[in-house]
């Protein structure tokens, strides 16, 4: 664990967490709670993470929220908690909670056409295994390729994606091991802003993420909560704290659980 923001008082954060009127633990999934897998559908949480999240839910008073570029539906099965957390999928375009699902609406025809053209291009250029079709976007992955091959594919994909999305409401976005196209304005920073509006005053909030797409959330949370980069190697980031998964991630969750269990509102539950 390394503090990245000068003056950050982590013990103080957990103390406030204990007495906060409400707590929200907002989590990215891939690379944060679960290691990357070549087959994205088999990326399960690190050992111990599911049990820790379950215990945090059982201790009470923590709103558990997942935020991901994946479709919301695919996350609910992977996280495998008996009480489903709130899930924001597709970079926030879909929200699923208490068995209800909301979406930000259908995409314009021109956007859907561009996505379909790009899906065809990816399949032809890099094969079906590199293609991820999403309800509101499309991605090409190269995590399993040799560096030179990956660099070539990256360059070609960015060029093709930019030309295909010109004049649409879509944007091209790089992440670690791939590039994707998503609707402009659908990003994790917007999710954090929505959540902060809804949380009670004085709520303690933390956001944990690993990738470039999580930087929008870190920025939105600046001064209002604890932002945590979860990653094996440090990189330039706006996060307050850096954790190496899985050990330090589990330690962070254990401290969250401990603070929740000691709180007056959580005591005696679960």
C-beta of 114 vs 195, nearer to Mg ion: 195
Q: What does 206-257 look like in DSSP terms, one character per residue?
A: EEEE-SGGGHHHHHHHTTTSEEEEE-SS--S-S-SEEE-TTHHHHHHHHHHH
- Report the alpha-carbon angle 60-62-213, nearest 5: 155
C-beta of 32 vs 263, nearer to Mg ion: 32
Ranges within 166-225 binding Mg ion (CB under 5 A):
210-211
Helix (H, G, I), strand (E, B) or coil at 200: coil
Q: How far is the CB of 11 from Mg ion (least distance, A)?
A: 27
Segment near Mg ion (CB under 5 A), from 29-37, 76-84, 231-239, 247-255?
A: 29-37
Q: How far is the CB of 140 from Mg ion (least distance, A)?
A: 16
* CA-based torsion, 189, 34, 80, 24: positive or negative: negative
In sequence order, what are the beta bridge partners of 94? 89, 103
In sequence order, what are the beta bridge partners of 65? 26, 86
CA distance 212 to 182: 14
Q: How far is the CB of 211 from Mg ion (least distance, A)?
A: 4
Candidate list 13, 14, 23, 28; residue touching Mg ion; CB under 5 A:
28
Total chain residues near Mg ion (CB under 5 A) = 5
Of 196, 258, 182, 257, the closest CA to residue 227 belongs to 196
Q: How far is the CB of 178 from Mg ion (least distance, A)?
A: 11
C-beta of 56 vs 230, nearer to Mg ion: 230
The packing angle between helices 109-126 and 147-165, to 10°, is 160
Q: How far is the CB of 168 from Mg ion (least distance, A)?
A: 25
C-beta of 74 vs 260, nearer to Mg ion: 74
Helix (H, G, I), strand (E, B) or coil at 179: strand
Q: Quote the DSSP letter at residue 43.
A: -
In sequence order, what are the beta bridge partners of 175? 178
Indicate the residue whose CB is closest to Mg ion: 31
C-beta of 245 vs 266, nearer to Mg ion: 245
Residue with tokens 């103080």: 12
C-beta of 94 vs 211, nearer to Mg ion: 211
Tell whether residue 61 is a contact of Mg ion (CB under 5 A): no
Q: How far is the CB of 145 from Mg ion (least distance, A)?
A: 19
Segment near Mg ion (CB under 5 A), from 30-38, 39-47, 200-208, 230-238?
A: 30-38
Candidate list 31, 45, 71, 137; residue touching Mg ion; CB under 5 A:
31
C-beta of 28 vs 132, nearer to Mg ion: 28
Residues that bind Mg ion (CB under 5 A): 28, 30-31, 210-211
């Amino acid at each position: 664990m390394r503090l990245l923001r000068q003056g950050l008082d982590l013990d103080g954060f957990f103390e406030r967490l204990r007495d906060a009127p409400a707590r929200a633990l907002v989590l990215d999934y891939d690379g944060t709670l679960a290691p990357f897998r070549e087959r994205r559908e088999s990326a399960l949480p690190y050992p111990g993470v599911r049990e820790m999240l379950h215990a945090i839910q059982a201790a009470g008073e923590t709103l558990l929220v997942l935020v991901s570029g994946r479709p919301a539906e695919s996350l609910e099965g992977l996280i495998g908690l008996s009480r489903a957390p709130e899930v924001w999928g597709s970079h926030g375009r879909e929200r699923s909670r208490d068995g209800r699902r909301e979406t930000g609406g259908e995409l314009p025809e021109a956007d859907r056409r561009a996505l379909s053209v790009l899906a065809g291009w990816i399949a032809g250029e890099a094969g079906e295994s590199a293609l991820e079709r999403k309800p509101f976007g499309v991605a090409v992955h190269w995590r399993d390729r040799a560096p030179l091959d990956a660099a070539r594919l990256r360059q070609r994909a960015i060029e093709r994606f930019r030309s295909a999305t010109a004049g649409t409401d879509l944007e091209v976005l790089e992440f670690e091991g791939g590039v994707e196209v998503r609707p402009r304005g659908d990003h994790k920073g917007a999710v954090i802003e929505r959540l902060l509006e809804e949380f009670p005053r004085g709520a303690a909030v933390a956001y944990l993420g690993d990738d470039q797409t999580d930087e929008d959330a870190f920025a939105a949370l600046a001064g209002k909560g604890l932002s945590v980069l979860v990653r094996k190697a440090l990189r330039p980031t706006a996060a307050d704290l850096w954790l190496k998964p899985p050990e330090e991630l589990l330690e962070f969750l254990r401290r969250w659980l401990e603070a929740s269990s000691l709180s007056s509102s959580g005591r005696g539950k679960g």
